[in-house]
Amino acid sequence: MSTTTTRLPNRFHSAVESWRERFLPDYQFLIDNWEKYFPKDERFELVAHRECGMCGIIECGEEEGKPKYTKACDMKPQQASHLLGAVKAQASTEFGSIQQHQLTLARAQSEQDQFWVLRMMAEELRHGYQMLHLLLEDDWSNVSDQSGEEMVEEILQMRTGSHTLGAFNIDFDSFVDNIVFCALIDRVGKYQLTMQKVSAYQPMAESMPQMLREEAFHLATGVVPMRRWAEESAKGEPFVTMEILQKHINKWLPRGVEMFGDERGGGTNVRYGLKPMKNGEAQSDYYDECDKVVRDLNLRYIRARDEKLDHKAAREVLRRMTEGGETVDGVGRPEDLISTPDKRFFRRRGMHAWELVGADGETFEDVEEYIRHLVRNLPEQYTAGRDFKGYIDLLRKVHAGELDGGAASREMPNLRHVGGVCPCSKSVRWVQEDANGSVAV
């Protein structure tokens, strides 16, 4: 199949370029060194891609077999509204990811790791650009009071703390966050893009193939360094140990699980032909895939500890350590390995939100004991930050009966538009209301 490329109208393209200058200041350095690090790959270009020749028939849902929609105005209002929400959320995540990665990009131990993350950030910029293309190319007035220009402005004004999905509102504390985020959170992106590839909305489906090709590189940006760190940790290197990897997996996997939405939902998107799987099904597949990533890291650790072991022998050692709880000479103790935290651990959304479930599935009666468990099992830099404090404050209120779980899950900063700074429109800024409705700038 071939692809077509399109640039946004100049004023919007310039707005994204201005955004890039602020949040991706190393972009030109990446372009200048592209052939050095990626000599076999076509040089990056900020354009929207559309795949030609894709299936034009709705592939799932109650309209399966009918022609796909090419205009939002031809869809049912509820269907178009769900679609619009997905496009805006996707755009938010792409731009939000760049803002997070920029915080700790300079802290990479390896120049190659740094350039891989930098390329990933540029491609995330293109993914956000792709979603803005969908917003501006069509007429959404039947399901939104906002113009395309206003939607673009809103998205470009989002900052860490005001993005649509919780995983993109957490500050990075070290370069380990950059890497583990790519391995786990970008893996959610792979699932979402794969599901949206069959969307009943043809422009959305045609936007996915190039994004998926780029997403494969993003996963490698996370997994390859994690494999190297596991092997180095096995040989006694102190830089990124298995314990550090475990704590960062504990930090990010719960957020990844939540990105699929409540486990009991997703039927509406399937019915409308926007996705082929409900939330719980996709979430379960994702969790199992993350478990395979963890298993691979453990096997690499074991083989680095005892280089005489072939893959089959290493699998048997892993079984003895994880299932039998054995300490194996030349390899170590079961606690030296990493594990996938329980799916209910450290949840703030979905059916297991605010439950006191530990990393290994153990349950707690006392909220303060659970908090101590979290502190032992999460990165120290993270537990000293605002996201963890916000979670603990709400957890205490839920278990004291002061707040119900649903309200706690919705308790996020209430940001509203009051005027601002986007090059594509009038400037805007954002304010947060306190509980009394007063404005804090």
Domain positions in the chain are 3-299, 342-405
> What are the per-10-residue average pLDDT scores of the chain (441 residues)?
92 97 97 96 97 97 98 97 96 97 96 97 98 97 95 95 91 97 97 97 98 97 98 96 98 97 96 97 98 98 97 97 96 97 97 97 98 98 95 97 93 42 39 37 30
Where residue 325 falls (left for φ over 0; alpha for ψ -120 to 50; beta otherwise) is left
**Per-residue pLDDT at 435:** 39
Count the neighbouring beta carbons within 10 Å of the beta carbon of residue 421: 14
The total number of residues written for the chain in this structure: 441
- Nearest Cα to 379, choosing from 172, 117, 163? 172
Burial class (CB in 10 A: 0-12, 13-18, 19+), 124: buried
Query: Are 344 and 357 contacting, i.e. CB atoms less than 8 angstroms apart?
Result: yes
Distance CA 219, CA 210 (A): 15
Strands of the sheet containing 439-440, edge to edge, are: 415-419, 429-433, 439-440
- Nearest Cα to 187, choosing from 262, 293, 51, 297? 293
Count the neighbouring beta carbons within 10 Å of the beta carbon of residue 59: 16
Q: pTM to 2 decimals?
A: 0.92
In Å, what is the CA distance from 417 to each residue of 141, 155, 208, 338?
19, 12, 31, 44
For the stretch 369-382, pLDDT in tens is 999 999 999 999 99
User: Was domain 3-299 assigned CATH 3.30.70.260?
Assistant: no
**Per-residue pLDDT at 436:** 38
Q: In one letter, which amino acid is 65?
A: G
**Per-residue pLDDT at 19:** 98
Cα end-to-end span (Å), the chain: 50
**Per-residue pLDDT at 414:** 39
**Per-residue pLDDT at 411:** 82
**Per-residue pLDDT at 410:** 87
